Amino acid sequence: MLANKNQERTSLAKLGEFGLINHLTEHFKIYCSSTQKGIGDDAAVISSSDKELLITTDLLIEGVHFDLSYMPLKHLGYKAVMVNLSDVYAMNGAAEQITVSIAVSNRFPLEALEELYAGIQLACDTYKVDLIGGDTTSSTKGMLISVTAIGKAKKEDVVYRNGAKATDLIVVSGDLGAAYLGLQVLEREKQVFQVDPKNQPDLDAYTYLIERQLKPEARKDVTELLKELEVKPTSMIDISDGLSSEIMHICSQSKLGCKIYEEKLPLDPQVIATSEEFNMDSTMIALSGGEDYELLFTVPIADFDKIKANPHLSIIGHMVEENQGMNLVTRANQEMELKAQGWNSFEE
């Protein structure tokens, strides 16, 4: 977690914008045959196809979305790509291209941007997407990253948020709440470090949580798994703001309500143990934690058998008519109204 203070420092001013872009992107490979022209002209060119095009964009800002005191730049680059690919997969599409715009203040040397782009490149190589453009400029304070992802899907395969039907099963991939707890652990260690810089933290009990926070993976594998299982979700969304907030988007756009069963929420053992340590309710963390980048989707009840035994998928509830509201059924079999505690970056 500590920066090496003796590292090389090359000033960004020396390279200029075009030199910088060339330097940072020259080793990126092109994976998609649809990428006709990447970086180096006024616009990138993508070849035509008979598939629908999916476009999504996200902005990450230092001090708001990430803290460089515990977020290594390589992980930040990787995560900035993941949060966008996740949105393409949430449409049941295949991500093919990204653009990356960054602004950094002069306090960042070239070597810092090389780290950032190493993470972006690792994401591109792992997910087989092409970096096709972007913008690189200076900021007056800190770093920000704006990524746009472009994907494709056959028209009949695109899954929106508004297609759920009453009685559909609600399914979530992976497990919930770990990324949020990872952030809590990192914030705590940062404060310990500020008081006693010689203290070496023992993070063995939190490895999964920290990895989920610093190096999330977009669930490309889940969209592929659904194709193998011959399941087409009726609605889908990715979990960036927390399960409650996301299921409420599906409910409101599909004009339905839902029942989520507390006992069905998939929790990693580290989430349960660390919730207790932090005196937090693990159900609340699973519902409101955010940044899990798992896929939340609904499927017809007829698909129950295809989903039920799959270790990557959990059936956590079902849709109901709109007038029944959006509720959590607790372990004590009580119904509690779901509330979106999703993150509002504008709150002071």
Site for a copy of itself in 24-83 (CB under 8 A): 36-37, 40-59, 61-65
Instruction: Write the CA distances from 28 to 38, 70, 129, 208, integer angstroms.
Output: 10, 26, 10, 29
Nearer to a copy of itself, 37 or 190 (CB): 37
Nearer to a copy of itself, 112 or 185 (CB): 112
Q: Does 219 bind a copy of itself (CB under 8 A)?
A: no
CA distance 83 to 2: 25
Q: How far is the CB of 96 from a copy of itself (least distance, A)?
A: 11
CA-based max dimension of the chain: 65
Q: Does 22 bind a copy of itself (CB under 8 A)?
A: no
- Binding-site residue set for Mg(2+): 42, 56-58, 87, 135, 238, 241
Q: How far is the CB of 313 from a copy of itself (least distance, A)?
A: 19
Draw the binding track, 159-178, toward a copy of itself (x: CB under 8 A; -: no contact): -xx-----------------
Beta partners for residue 101, in sequence order? 135, 146
Q: Does 194 bind a copy of itself (CB under 8 A)?
A: no
- Binding-site residue set for ATP: 117, 134-135, 161, 240
Residue type, 180: Y
CA distance 330 to 334: 5
Q: 222: which 2 tokens?
A: 């889940």
Q: Does 96 bind a copy of itself (CB under 8 A)?
A: no
Question: What is the DSSP code string of 286-328?
Answer: HHH------EEEEE-GGGHHHHTT-TTEEEEEEEEEGGG-EEE
Nearer to a copy of itself, 323 or 344 (CB): 344
| Contact positions with a copy of itself (CB under 8 A) in 245-304 | 253
Q: Does 231 bind a copy of itself (CB under 8 A)?
A: no
Nearest to 99, CA basis, from 190, 21, 155, 183:
21
